[in-house]
Amino acid sequence: MANLTVTHTEDITLNGQQFGNTNIFSISGINDIFKRIVSIEAGDDATIAVFKSTVSIAGGTADTGGDGALKKANVKYVRITNLDSANSVNLSLQLDSDEDNSAANLSVTHLLEAGKSFVMGVVDEAIHADDDAAAIVTSLTDVESIIIDPGSNTGKIELLVAST
């Protein structure tokens, strides 16, 4: 087991005054790292990560696990960085709001600009989308997968997932 140390630094001076900051946090008990760089052709999209209750379909059904899936209860940190220097990509969090460990039935899409990163912690009970009310939802659901769509441009992203 190891500790993952994450450092976020903003550095800006306006009118001679420093406004930046550095925040550091550590996640203990990390046993697994899943890291990949994915190039995506224009007009295509790519599923870059899948999260299920188990990591294999052995002893289960295709709906409860999947070869290559990351165990959602163990994921503690996710970072996606757009490696393109000019083009944005659409980052879509596919949600299993039924929490039945099957296919996604909701999605939330975020524009990830060139050179920028999207960071989140857990994927189990992590997010929810509600299309009938603009209210805070405290009953969160699971991220089932993450899809990247570069639109009419090519795209290149880096993914890092740390799990216990």
pLDDT, tens digit, for every residue of 52-97? Answer: 988 765 544 444 556 689 999 999 999 999 999 999 999 999 999 8
Structure tokens that stand for 42 in this block: 């224009």
What pLDDT, on a 0 to 100 scale, did the predictor assign at position 121?
Answer: 97
Cα separation, 43 vs 45, whole angstroms:
7
61 burial (CB, 10 Å; 0-12 / 13-18 / 19+) is exposed
What pLDDT, on a 0 to 100 scale, did the predictor assign at position 65?
Answer: 57
What pLDDT, on a 0 to 100 scale, did the predictor assign at position 61?
Answer: 47
Q: 50 pLDDT exceeds 70?
A: yes
What pLDDT, on a 0 to 100 scale, did the predictor assign at position 14?
Answer: 97
Using alpha carbons, select from 121, 100, 96, 117 the residue that is nearest to residue 108: 96
Our CA dihedral for 37, 66, 102, 70, rounded to 10 degrees, sits at -50
pLDDT-based confidence at residue 51 (cuts at 50, 70, 90):
very high
Q: Where are the domains of the chain?
A: 30-163
Cα separation, 5 vs 82, whole angstroms:
21
The 10s digit of each residue's pLDDT in 105-142 is 999 999 999 999 999 999 999 998 877 777 888 889 99
What pLDDT, on a 0 to 100 scale, did the predictor assign at position 133?
Answer: 73
pTM of the entire predicted model: 0.90
Would you say the C-alpha torsion 115, 117, 118, 123 has a positive or negative sign?
positive
Q: 156 pLDDT exceeds 80?
A: yes
CA-only gyration radius of the chain, Å: 17
What pLDDT, on a 0 to 100 scale, did the predictor assign at position 66?
Answer: 63
| Higher per-residue confidence, 151 vs 131 | 151
What pLDDT, on a 0 to 100 scale, did the predictor assign at position 45?
Answer: 96
Cα separation, 40 vs 80, whole angstroms:
14
CATH classification of 30-163 is 3.10.620.30, yes or no?
A: no
Mean pLDDT on 5-33: 97
Q: Are 111 and 118 in contact (CB under 8 A)?
A: no
